[in-house]
Structure 1
Amino acid sequence: MRRPKAWLILLALVVSATLSPARAQDRLNVVTSFSILGDFVRNVGGERVSVTSLVGPDGDVHVYTPAPADAKTIADAKLLVINGFGLEGWLPRLLQASGSKASIVTATQGIAPLKLGSDADPHAWQSVANAKIYVANIRDALMAADPADAGAFKANAENYLTKLDGLDREVRQAIAQIPPGRRKVISTHDAFGYFAAGYGIEFIAPLGVSTESEVSARDIAKIITQVKKSGIPAVFLENISDDRLMRRISAETGAKVGGTLYSDALTDEKGVAPTYIDMVRHNIKALTSALAN
């Protein structure tokens, strides 16, 4: 039997690529403000979307400084997915500079915000129940932007929402293993208010600590007093913050370092939290390991 000629094989490959529904040039170009939103979009959009996150793995969206290339990235987008609740304070000027005509979806639409002082707490994704609202908003936006692929977006979203239901059950089962009196920790900044409200873990952010400012010696003394007075059994580092403060607090109070929690950013593919589900599972494992005994 004669082997097919090389040019026939090449022609077959070209035709196959031409007919493929997942061609790069046919994908919906979506830009998200940071990595967690990017993961939500990939789960709902699948191969029918091309996703770029402005703030990438282990990046701090609070203090992000846009690069000139970001304006072009947004200008080329069909859809821009943002968190809202004041998280992306740098975004309005970037939008103006880009001249973007992308449709903008605020993923927190429909979520009642908690408060951080007088401002909305933007970290709503830390509750899995809220994450499902993010996903529903993203699904609806993708369906509106690309009606031809609406069926695929809907099916992908239903599959992912089922996984999130299972994740929510995992978290509740894990928290139930922690004695009520030990369900309190100290973390680098106030990023876990929605997790606390949803699952009954008390997160105490050190007084005077944020990712946007340095902590004074007086602040550190207050934090140490706070930890001792509250009987906090563990302190946790965060992947977007300098860990020296938490380690000093641990050394001076006896509260053990429970590990690293992932709050505002995912890791890259080689890290422990490359997806939202991985992030939540990592966090709950760290919490139960530090607090259950």
Structure 2
Amino acid sequence: MPKKLFRCAKSIRQAVVAAVTATLVLTVAACSGAAGETPDDGRPVVLTTFTVLADVAQNVAGDKLRVESITKPGAEIHGYEPTPGDIRKASAADLILDNGLNLEAWFSQFVEGLDVPHAVVSDGVEIMQIGEDSYQGKPNPHAWMSPVNVQLYVDNMVTAFSKLDPENAAVFEANAAAYKAELQTVKDEMIQKLAGVPESQRALVTCEGAFSYLARDAGLREVYIWAVNAEQQATPQQITRAIEYVKANQVPAVFCESTVSDAPMQQVVGATNAKFGGVLYVDSLSESGGPVPTYLDLIRHDSNLITAALTGASS
């Protein structure tokens, strides 16, 4: 085929694909009554990228906005792949909230072509950088693991919600003030409990490097097997490095997160005198009947588990 005709045919194919995609987006947006979805109750819809943000946002929104999460409880957020149902929900939303800091690698493609405003709730956070692997120099995205940072998340949500629904701006402000007081209480409780951990044992060894902000708040040294959850993780070199650190520093307990396999950390346990301290929650809340149905529960659960395991106390 002559080059000119080839380019013309290629352009036509691209135009057809774009038209079909646009039609699908419009179609799914129109299907607001699809099975399994919450019926429209007239309130503006705020869609968050994962469950932690949804819980925080619900505390700020109260009953004035309908808050939903794209991902379900227990989902791994880093490599999430949006479904057609997610696109339908996003198309019908009035506002989308994302964490930012490169957490949702799929987000830009997810919202491309959607005429829906969105806000990055981590704006203003004092960012900690990842110190190694292919992610070296990039921001650590897990800023919500600090209750202090989440107070900034709340402020950003108030701004976005007040722009979306100005009539209820005062309600959002009042809800935010009450919730920020709870966040401060949880942070103070965490510091008080972890203060009893001896200096020699103040190391938080986990599967993923997701606890930089919590460790900074609590005065713990952070050690991990891999920096960020990915399809391929836990190389022999990474496991060996963790084993050597635990042995050299006589770390009494190690941990892993709820959204990944703890098999690599169990290798560390098997090669050292450390015990497996338990499952920590980071990227996702649990179901309502589970151990961490809210963000405040998540921080309390993690700090209690860490303190108990490092001090040898019963949880």
Residue identity opposite 2:156 in structure 1: N
Residues 99-138 of structure 1 aligned to structure 2 (within 5 Å)? 99-116=113-130, 117-138=136-157
Q: Distance in 2 between matches of 1:172 and 1:88?
A: 29
Paired position in structure 1 for 2:66: 50
Superposed CA RMSD in Å reads 1.7
CA offset at residue 282 of structure 1?
0.3
CA offset at residue 185 of structure 1?
2.5
Paired residue secondary structure (1:206)? strand
Whether the 8 Å contact between 1:84 and 1:122 is mirrored in structure 2 is: yes
**Is 1:213 aligned to residue 232 of structure 2?**
yes
Q: Distance in 2 between matches of 1:287 and 1:86?
A: 27
CA offset at residue 171 of structure 1?
0.9
- C-alpha change, 1:202 and 1:100, in structure 2 (3 Å) is same
Whether the 8 Å contact between 1:31 and 1:80 is mirrored in structure 2 is: yes
Q: Distance in 1 between matches of 2:255 and 2:67?
A: 31
CA offset at residue 142 of structure 1?
0.5
TM-score, normalising length: structure 2 = 0.81
**Is 1:200 aligned to residue 219 of structure 2?**
yes
Task: Using the aligned pairs only, state the percent identity.
Answer: 32
**Is 1:160 aligned to residue 176 of structure 2?**
no
Paired position in structure 2 for 1:8: none
Residue identity opposite 1:284 in structure 2: S
Paired position in structure 1 for 2:189: 170
- C-alpha change, 1:204 and 1:72, in structure 2 (3 Å) is same
Whether the 8 Å contact between 1:127 and 1:198 is mirrored in structure 2 is: yes
4+ aligned runs moved over 3 Å, structure 1: 207-212, 216-219
Paired position in structure 1 for 2:45: 29
CA offset at residue 287 of structure 1?
0.8
Q: Distance in 1 between matches of 2:164 and 2:304?
A: 38
Residue identity opposite 1:150 in structure 2: A
CA offset at residue 218 of structure 1?
4.2
- C-alpha change, 1:268 and 1:230, in structure 2 (3 Å) is same
CA offset at residue 180 of structure 1?
1.7
- C-alpha change, 1:51 and 1:225, in structure 2 (3 Å) is same
CA offset at residue 215 of structure 1?
2.5
Moved more, 44-53 or 228-237: 228-237
Question: How many aligned residue pairs are there?
Answer: 269
**Is 1:148 aligned to residue 167 of structure 2?**
yes
**Is 1:184 aligned to residue 198 of structure 2?**
no
Paired position in structure 2 for 1:88: 104
Q: Distance in 2 between matches of 1:157 and 1:203?
A: 31
Residue identity opposite 2:205 in structure 1: I
CA offset at residue 45 of structure 1?
0.6
CA offset at residue 48 of structure 1?
1.3
Q: Distance in 2 between matches of 1:126 and 1:218?
A: 27
Q: Distance in 2 between matches of 1:237 and 1:49?
A: 35
Paired position in structure 2 for 1:12: none
**Is 1:268 aligned to residue 287 of structure 2?**
yes
**Is 1:227 aligned to residue 243 of structure 2?**
no
Residues 65-80 of structure 1 aligned to structure 2 (within 5 Å)? 65-80=81-96
Q: Distance in 1 between matches of 2:298 and 2:114?
A: 32
Residue identity opposite 1:70 in structure 2: D
CA offset at residue 56 of structure 1?
1.8
Whether the 8 Å contact between 1:26 and 1:48 is mirrored in structure 2 is: no
Whether the 8 Å contact between 1:46 and 1:156 is mirrored in structure 2 is: yes
Whether the 8 Å contact between 1:85 and 1:122 is mirrored in structure 2 is: yes
Q: Show structure 2 runs of 5+ residues with no match.
A: 1-38, 131-135
Q: Distance in 2 between matches of 1:87 and 1:209?
A: 10
Q: Distance in 2 between matches of 1:208 and 1:144?
A: 36
Whether the 8 Å contact between 1:187 and 1:235 is mirrored in structure 2 is: yes
Q: Show structure 1 runs of 5+ residues with no match.
A: 1-22
Paired position in structure 2 for 1:14: none
TM-score, normalising length: structure 1 = 0.87
CA offset at residue 133 of structure 1?
0.3
